[in-house]
């Protein structure tokens, strides 16, 4: 049986002809051997030599290990391995993030990054609105967007949810959203909630304030377009998808369906199962890139190690930078920093993000304000204003009592 080597170390491949991934590998095997078994498993091989693999098939479809740097392996997959009309993200992931996570020979492996060639990118819509589109809708050209997640996560009636949204808008917030666990439970039916929230948003607009609320329509694949269409007909101005539970294909379906005319807010609930272990799983970076490719307009990317969720500042910064990368040919996507945020963190988050193009959200950091939702929203808005103006929050708080109370309660620096 002919033996094949997947090692092409140092080879320069054409980035338009390969999907290139980097993996961090932990193994007792020599790294070259581990990299070969990875390339074999994910492309033309398996755990043993096989009589059915011919050289011409191997040459055309075999993965190429083009770099090994310590425990980081760079693997180039020929574009011919991918099937875009039927397949798309599910098939891409089966290759670049499939069986490899369970291989005995590799103790741990983490997909750190993925570079999609033009021939694959052109099969995906990218954001329809993106940063510029969201800013235009909100008439907020420069300042960071500032939002809330309605709290409690579940349990409020449609009327109380709409009241929360209205109060948030009166406090200056530009965005609000359903939480990831709220969809169409009996205590808060989707239709009643969407209608009531639309009334709040319309009222705010008539009073001179523009605001978006993302309605969570995450559901089974065969129903998602229908549910999104209904939500839109009931007045939804933005819809939200829990991407890792609903699937990337859900975003793509919504982004490509011409009947859906509102921006898509992408929540990443469950990401910790993939992203948290620094040595195993999938980093947020390729997930963020896929969300953008599939058509997300705003994507949760982490809080740069500052909020309640585990996250490393430099990794989260890479996620944010990827949202702005113009070389991929898509509109830029709004990075959303959310999870355990309070007003006293806002300036640090903006500084660490390195951009004013960011949406900062607080659930508890708004609803937990002793003065109620409106004052909580004012505290968050004031924090964003201060950061935008480059004024230290404690200084700004001297003339902004809602911020002052928030800083006293949750701290600053
Ligand atoms: C989210 O959707 O990001 C979380 O529910 C945020 O809620 P928190 O601000 O209260 O942590």
Closest protein CA for atom 1 of ligand 1:
339
CATH fold of 18-121? Alpha-Beta Plaits (3.30.70)
Measured from the Cα of 341, ligand 1's closest atom is 9
Fold: same for 18-121 and 130-410 = no
pLDDT in tens, the chain (413 residues): 888 999 999 999 999 999 999 999 999 999 999 999 999 999 999 989 899 999 999 999 999 999 999 999 999 999 999 999 999 999 999 999 999 999 988 999 999 999 999 999 999 999 999 999 999 999 999 999 999 999 999 999 999 999 999 999 999 999 999 999 999 999 999 999 999 999 999 999 999 999 999 999 999 999 999 999 999 999 999 999 999 999 999 999 999 999 999 999 999 999 999 999 999 999 999 999 999 999 999 999 999 999 888 888 888 999 999 999 999 999 999 999 999 999 999 999 999 999 999 999 999 999 999 999 999 999 999 999 999 999 999 999 999 999 999 999 999 97
The per-residue pLDDT for 311 is 81
Tell me: the pLDDT tens digits for 316-334? 999 999 999 999 999 999 9
User: How far is ligand 1, taken at its centre, from the CA of residue 338, in Å?
Assistant: 6
CA distance 407 to 401: 10
Q: Identify the CA nearest to 343 among candidates 307, 313, 314.
A: 307
In CATH terms, 130-410 corresponds, of 3.40.50.620, 3.20.20.70, 3.30.160.270, 3.20.20.110, to: 3.20.20.110
The pTM of the full predicted model, rounded to 2 decimals, is 0.96
Greatest alpha-carbon pair distance for the chain in Å reads: 79
Closest protein CA for atom 4 of ligand 1:
339
Token pair of 98 as six digits = 């499939």
Closest protein CA for atom 6 of ligand 1:
339
Residues, the chain: 413
Q: Identify the CA nearest to 108 among candidates 28, 39, 26.
A: 26
267: β partners: 242
Q: Identify the CA nearest to 87 among candidates 76, 75, 97, 95.
A: 95
Q: Cβ neighbours of residue 129 under 8 Å, at least 6 residues apart? A: 137, 263, 297, 331
Evaluate: CB of 339 within 6 angstroms of ligand 1: yes
Measured from the Cα of 309, ligand 1's closest atom is 11
User: How far is ligand 1, taken at its centre, from the CA of residue 10, in Å?
Assistant: 44
| Strand 359-361 relative to strand 145-149, pairing | parallel
- Count of CA atoms in the C-beta half-sphere (13 A) of 234: 20
User: How far is ligand 1, taken at its centre, from the CA of residue 180, in Å?
Assistant: 9
Evaluate: CB of 302 within 6 angstroms of ligand 1: no
User: How far is ligand 1, taken at its centre, from the CA of residue 36, in Å?
Assistant: 42
User: How far is ligand 1, taken at its centre, from the CA of residue 122, in Å?
Assistant: 34
Helix or strand or coil: residue 77?
Answer: strand
Task: Based on the residue annotation, tell me whether 267 is a catalytic residue of this protein.
Answer: yes
360: β partners: 146, 337
The per-residue pLDDT for 2 is 84
Q: 368 φ, ψ to 5°?
A: -90, 0
Evaluate: CB of 308 within 6 angstroms of ligand 1: yes
Of the residues 170, 267, 300, 400, only one is catalytic, namely: 267
What angle do helix axes 373-389 and 401-410 make, rounded to 10 degrees? 100
If 0-12 CB within 10 Å is exposed, 13-18 middle and 19+ buried, where does residue 80 land? exposed
Closest protein CA for atom 8 of ligand 1:
363
Evaluate: CB of 364 within 6 angstroms of ligand 1: yes
Closest protein CA for atom 2 of ligand 1:
179
User: How far is ligand 1, taken at its centre, from the CA of residue 113, in Å?
Assistant: 26
Q: Where are the domains of the chain?
A: 18-121, 130-410
The per-residue pLDDT for 322 is 97
User: How far is ligand 1, taken at its centre, from the CA of residue 283, in Å?
Assistant: 20
The answer to whether 306 touches 348, Cβ cutoff 8 Å, is yes
Evaluate: CB of 341 within 6 angstroms of ligand 1: yes
Evaluate: CB of 338 within 6 angstroms of ligand 1: yes
Task: Based on the residue annotation, tell me whether 143 is a catalytic residue of this protein.
Answer: no
């Amino acid at each position: 049986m002919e033996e094949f080597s997947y090692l092409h170390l140092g080879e320069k491949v054409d980035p338009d002809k390969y999907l290139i991934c980097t993996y961090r590998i932990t193994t007792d095997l020599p790294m070259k051997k581990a990299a070969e078994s990875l390339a074999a498993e994910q492309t033309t091989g398996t755990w043993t030599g096989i009589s059915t693999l011919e050289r011409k098939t191997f040459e055309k479809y075999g993965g190429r290990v083009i770099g090994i740097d310590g425990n980081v392996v760079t693997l180039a997959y020929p574009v011919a391995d991918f099937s875009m009309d039927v397949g798309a993200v599910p098939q891409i992931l089966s290759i670049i993030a499939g069986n490899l996570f369970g291989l005995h020979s590799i103790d741990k492996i983490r997909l750190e990054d993925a570079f999609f060639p033009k021939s694959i990118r052109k099969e995906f819509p990218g954001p329809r609105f993106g940063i510029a589109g969201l800013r235009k809708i909100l008439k907020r050209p420069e300042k960071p967007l500032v939002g809330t997640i309605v709290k409690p996560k579940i349990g409020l009636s449609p009327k109380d949810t709409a009241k929360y949204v209205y109060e948030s808008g009166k406090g200056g917030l530009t965005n609000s959203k359903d939480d990831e666990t709220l969809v169409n439970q009996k205590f808060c039916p989707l239709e009643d909630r969407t209608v009531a929230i639309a009334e709040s948003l319309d009222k705010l607009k008539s009073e001179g304030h523009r605001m978006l609320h993302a309605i969570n329509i995450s559901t089974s694949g065969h129903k998602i377009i229908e549910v999104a269409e209904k939500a839109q007909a009931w007045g939804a101005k933005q819809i939200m998808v829990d991407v890792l539970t609903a699937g990337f294909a859900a975003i793509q379906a919504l982004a490509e369906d011409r009947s859906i005319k509102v921006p898509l807010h992408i929540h990443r609930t469950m990401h910790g199962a993939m992203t948290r272990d620094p040595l195993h799983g999938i980093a947020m970076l390729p997930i963020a890139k896929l969300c953008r490719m599939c058509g997300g307009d705003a994507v949760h990317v982490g809080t740069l190690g500052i909020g309640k969720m585990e996250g490393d500042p430099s990794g989260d910064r890479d996620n944010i930078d990827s949202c702005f990368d113009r070389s991929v040919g898509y509109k830029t996507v709004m990075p959303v920093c959310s999870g355990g945020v309070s007003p006293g963190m806002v300036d640090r988050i903006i500084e660490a993000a390195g951009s004013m193009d960011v949406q900062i959200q607080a659930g508890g950091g708004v609803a937990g304000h002793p003065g109620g939702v409106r004052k909580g929203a004012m505290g968050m808005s004031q924090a964003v204003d201060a950061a935008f103006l480059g004024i230290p929050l404690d200084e700004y708080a001297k003339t902004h009592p809602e911020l002052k109370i928030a800083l006293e309660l949750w701290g600053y620096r």
